[in-house]
Copies of this chain bind each other. A is one copy, B any other.
Amino acid sequence: MIDSTPLLRPNDSAVAAVTAALTRQFGNRCVTSAAVREQHGHTLTWIANQPPDAVVYPLDAAEMVAIVKLCAAHRMPVIPFGVGTSLEGHVNAPLGGVCVDTSMMKAVLSVQPEDLTCVVEPGVTRKQLNEHLRDTGLFFPIDPGADATIGGMTATRASGTNAVRYGTMKDNVLALEVVSPAGEIVTTARRAKKTSAGYDLTRLYVGSEGTLGLIAKVTLKLHGAPEAISAAVCSFPSIKAACDTTIQAIQIGLPMARIELLDELQVAACNRHSKLSLPEKPLLLLEFHGTTAGVAEQVETFSAIARDNGGSDFQWATKPEDRTRLWEARHNAYWATMEIRPGAKGFATDVCVPISRLAECVEETKRDLDASGLIGPIVGHVGDGNFHVQPMIMVDDPEEIARAEGFLERLAKRAISMDGTCTGEHGVGQGKIKYLEAELGPAALATMRAIKVAIDPQGIMNPGKILAF
């Protein structure tokens, strides 16, 4: 009989039994040192570190099955771990348990160039995959910034800079193998591009943040590397002018590969960090993919729209080294931000709104930052209506933390009130559980809970994420 009462922290003897069994099977691939456990708790941003009891490094799906079966037998939490770049406490272990680190499952199992697909293990990172694909003429476009693992990106429904053209993980995962909470391997789909064969289990697991099972294998869509790429930066007199340019370009169907907004504070930080001399005004960074003629046409169309909205100081680049220089500001934005206020930690967050509300949402958010006495640069994947704010906070000052938390709550609710979401790409983790009901209502939450209980009746899979205990 399965115990479906709320999960509690396992007692010491259960932890000892599981750890001993794991050590017997995995030897030094089961680690219980405090440093490694802490490194596998949440380390980014403001959420407190809650380390697991043990960290284990499986080599393949069969070993994942063994770990899950053992944990299921002891009702022990199981927390999947990629490279730990998630931002909402996804990898914390609030009840302890076993962290399953996928860093030894790094094989690109197969590539099918004719089908534009590949099959990878969850620990493969996106850069590793693209390195592997380099001679095929294909690439995997999803780019959340960090060199995250494909497993982690799948689990959080990641996206990033070029989702505006290539979609998010939900659009680029074709099929999964998932180790269920009972230790069965669930195959969600086959390799056909389309299917209407039953419930869309693939999309159910994408974004489920490890709460329904462990991702053991991922079949991905790939894309042909574009014949031509052109990058650009362009300054605007106001956030609104930059957003309006974006809206108009999206509306006429311009197939931009990337369109990123940096506010003046972020531009200033990037200038300082990367020794650039960009005008310290709202900036759009762009990338166009296509045929040579197609890219030229896109550039011309975009330029006309930007100029109509007061865009100036255009810089264009088609050569890789020049593109890199232009994009340097964006790629180093995180580090540049860190220098704005030495000693402070960034409370990274993201929201997403319908694009028609984007300028309004960003502007209100900037006013709120000012009124709250907070310093927080804004960077956005604005083609999707998605933006990030990162207030820089002294984490030893409880009053400042409270002010930041108040700001984050108003931001989430502002996005929701504009028919948007409290998270466009970071996920719920621990940090955004409290906004889900305001966003989706009690019936949706009850449906999610019903699904969680049906698939994971013991509640052992990544407890305390997405849904409260």
> Is B443's CB under 8 angstroms from A189's CB?
no
> Is B252's CB under 8 angstroms from A193's CB?
no
Residues on B with beta carbons closer than 8 Å to the beta carbon of A432: 197
Counting CB contacts under 8 A, is A447 at the interface? yes
Counting CB contacts under 8 A, is A251 at the interface? yes
Q: Which of A51-59, A258-266, A290-298, A388-396 contacts B (4 or more CB under 8 A)?
A: A290-298
> Is B444's CB under 8 angstroms from A188's CB?
yes
Contacting B at CB under 8 A, from A109-156, are 112-117, 156
CB distance from A356 to the nearest CB of B (A): 4
Counting CB contacts under 8 A, is A210 at the interface? no
Report if A194-B207 is in contact (Cβ < 8 Å); known contacts: A297-B294, A443-B185.
Answer: no
Partner of A436, one of B197, B253, B355: B197
Residues on B with beta carbons closer than 8 Å to the beta carbon of A201: 440, 444, 447-448
Q: Which of A16-24, A97-105, A315-323, A422-430 contacts B (4 or more CB under 8 A)?
A: A422-430
Counting CB contacts under 8 A, is A190 at the interface? yes
CB distance from A414 to the nearest CB of B (A): 13
CB distance from A46 to the nearest CB of B (A): 19
> Is B196's CB under 8 angstroms from A428's CB?
yes
> Is A180's CB under 8 angstroms from B224's CB?
no
CA distance A433 to B352 in the complex (A): 39
Counting CB contacts under 8 A, is A39 at the interface? no
> Is B384's CB under 8 angstroms from A443's CB?
no
Taking the full assembly, how many copies of this chain does it contain? 2
Interface band, chain A: 35 or more
> Is A192's CB under 8 angstroms from B419's CB?
yes
Partner of A297, one of B293, B352, B422, B424: B293
Closest to A183 in B: B443
CA distance A190 to B297 in the complex (A): 34
CB distance from A360 to the nearest CB of B (A): 12
Report if A184-B297 is in contact (Cβ < 8 Å); known contacts: A203-B203, A354-B117, A451-B454.
Answer: no
Which of A112, A170, A293 is most buried by chain B, counting CB atoms within 10 A of its CB? A170
Closest to A202 in B: B203
Residue interface mask A226-267, B partner, CB < 8 A = 1: 100000000000000000000100111100000000000000
Report if A424-B224 is in contact (Cβ < 8 Å); known contacts: A201-B444, A447-B180, A455-B451.
Answer: no
Residues on B with beta carbons closer than 8 Å to the beta carbon of A421: 189-190, 192, 194-197
Closest to A436 in B: B198
CA distance A180 to B294 in the complex (A): 47
Contacting B at CB under 8 A, from A261-295, are 291, 293-294
Closest to A352 in B: B192
> Is B203's CB under 8 angstroms from A200's CB?
yes
Counting CB contacts under 8 A, is A349 at the interface? no
Residues on B with beta carbons closer than 8 Å to the beta carbon of A170: 200, 203
Contacting B at CB under 8 A, from A356-408, are 356, 384-386
Residues on B with beta carbons closer than 8 Å to the beta carbon of A424: 192, 194-196
Which of A188, A193, A446, A450 is most buried by chain B, counting CB atoms within 10 A of its CB? A193
Of the A-B pairs whose beta carbons lie under 8 Å apart in the complex, a sample of 26, sorted by A's number, is A112-B356, A114-B356, A157-B196, A159-B194, A168-B194, A185-B443, A190-B421, A190-B439, A191-B419, A192-B352, A193-B355, A193-B384, A195-B352, A196-B428, A197-B421, A198-B467, A200-B203, A200-B206, A201-B444, A203-B203, A204-B451, A224-B252, A293-B293, A294-B294, A451-B451, A451-B454
A-B contact sample (7 more), CB < 8 A, given A184-B443, A194-B421:
A114-B355, A114-B356, A186-B444, A192-B420, A198-B440, A199-B466, A293-B293
* Chain A to chain B: the 9 pairs with minimum beta-carbon distance, closest first: A454-B454, A203-B203, A224-B253, A114-B356, A192-B352, A184-B443, A195-B421, A450-B454, A191-B419
